[in-house]
Structure 1
């Protein structure tokens, strides 16, 4: 990793994982919802190749959206890193420490501004002001590219539990039932993971995500998605 990049990250904040649990579950559910939009169409399809057609359509859709999601992750990461670099430079060029503290406070979300006093912000200002090797522009590193690859595969792989039953089982109603059961299990598991992470009850969150997922899927299909 570029030493300048390390300097700005260390000066501004302790680096978080490239993809946290919310990112991973959100991408999995996004891919799942995309695949589910094809299930309703398959349930009314006839012909011996309906399952393979659905798999190709669902996989092609998720390949495209997985690529879009991965690229936008890199764009978002670069934009956020540029904002932190701009903040560090603004602090270093401030007329006095008080102005620098005000600059930092203005970058905080409104809900956090009343939770942090000037003494705490002064410690951040001192670290930013002492950063001696700031990069000339925001850059991406290997971890960012790896994160984008992981996003791509999360979206794409979430297609298979929904679509594969139609390829492996010739009886479409049975394949549809298995696909829906697997989809509900994935929704419930994703909700549990988010609930455990957020601390508001894994089981409750699992059922909530299941209900939300079913409602969203029905809405997407009804809107022609």
Structure 2
């Protein structure tokens, strides 16, 4: 069970999923900070913006956390069904087809018939593989992590509104902070994928800049 728990904790901290959650929360918050300039400048407008951005990300984080739990349960149940079918006497061709369906098309093609058969035999012969379904503690830990990432991604964008009195300057500085976070996120994702970090960082930052420009053009 310890091995299963360690594997699950790795999933919770998976760079792609976690950075993606930050990007989602960041872009959602930027839709508020980018459009505040159409409102009446002043403390009340800034307060309204911050409450709206935080409330939106709270709702999104809650929904995304619930979806994380749902995905975990579905994936675990699917794996349970696969193992049960393999161990219930399914023939080799059926077992290989099920394993190929569980893998990405490229991995299944690369493995070939021999590789799929080796996987089938190891899955059948390994008694240590977990077969339990349902909710696990790690699911709720992962959901909490998702919730916190989405919500906390709001705060770097609202800091300029807390320290600056000029609304227009605060909006632009907030956008700049958002671009810096997107740059870092792109760097992390590209490095994780084995690509050139600088290229990925610039690409994601430019994409964010285009989104910000679109927000401003639409009334920001």
TM-score bracket, normalised by the shorter chain, equals 0.7 to 0.9
Offset at residue 132 of structure 1 (A): 4.9
Tell me if 1:36 matches 2:39: no
Task: Judge conservation of contact 2:31–2:215 (CA < 8 Å) in 1.
Answer: yes
Instruction: From the two aligned structures, give the one with the greater helix fraction.
Output: 2
Q: Distance in 1 between matches of 2:23 and 2:191?
A: 16
In the other structure, the counterpart of 2:139 is 144
Distance change (3 Å), C-alpha of 1:126 and 1:221: farther
RMSD of aligned alpha carbons: 2.6
Offset at residue 222 of structure 1 (A): 6.0
Tell me if 1:19 matches 2:13: yes
Q: Distance in 2 between matches of 1:134 and 1:188?
A: 40
Equivalent residue runs for 1:73-112 within 5 Å:
73-112=68-107
Distance change (3 Å), C-alpha of 1:181 and 1:219: closer
Matched residue pairs, number?
217
In the other structure, the counterpart of 2:184 is 189
CA displacement 1:27-84 (0-9 Å, x = unmatched): 0010000000012321232233221111111000000000001110111111111111
Tell me if 1:159 matches 2:154: yes
SS at match of 2:11: coil
Tell me if 1:171 matches 2:166: yes
Aligned equivalent of 2:62, options 67, 70, 79: 67
SS at match of 1:145: helix
Tell me if 1:113 matches 2:108: yes
Offset at residue 200 of structure 1 (A): 1.2
Task: Judge conservation of contact 2:29–2:157 (CA < 8 Å) in 1.
Answer: yes
Offset at residue 214 of structure 1 (A): 2.2
In the other structure, the counterpart of 1:56 is 51
Q: Distance in 1 between matches of 2:96 and 2:89?
A: 9
Please list every run of 5 or more consecutive structure 2 residues that lacks an aligned counterpart in the other structure: none
Task: Judge conservation of contact 1:27–1:151 (CA < 8 Å) in 2.
Answer: yes
